[in-house]
Amino acid sequence: MEKALNSPDNYIQTLISLKQKINLARYKSLVAVNQEMILVYLEIGKTISEQVKQGWGSAVIERLATDLQTEYNGVSGFSARIATTCGENSLGAYFINI
């Protein structure tokens, strides 16, 4: 049998404090990543919108979406439908046009 480990008086408080710090850091990391991805999607929408104005048609947008999906397999948000929406009708287009 293992011998029971005697914990110092403040062990539980220290453990709880460290777990809270780790959880907060993980949360902040997720928020930062989400913010960066939103900025990337806004830039994608802006770029696509500009290219559509230059004459890119739906076939080119579809190919672009397929190439991005192939390169970033498993990452959502690169479909032609989403790309077109980001370029024309989304919150991204609102910010782009400010």
HEC assignment per residue over 15-51? HHHHHHHHHHHHHHHHHHHHHHHHHHHHHHHHHHHHH
- Summarize pLDDT for 35-46 with one digit per residue, the tens: 998 998 889 889
Task: Return d(Cα 83, Cα 52) in angstroms, integer.
Answer: 11
Q: What is the mean pLDDT of the chain?
A: 80
Q: Is the pLDDT of residue 96 over 90?
A: no
Share of the chain above pLDDT 90, in %: 36
The structure's pTM equals 0.62
Q: Which of 56, 37, 46 is nearest to 92 (CA)?
A: 46
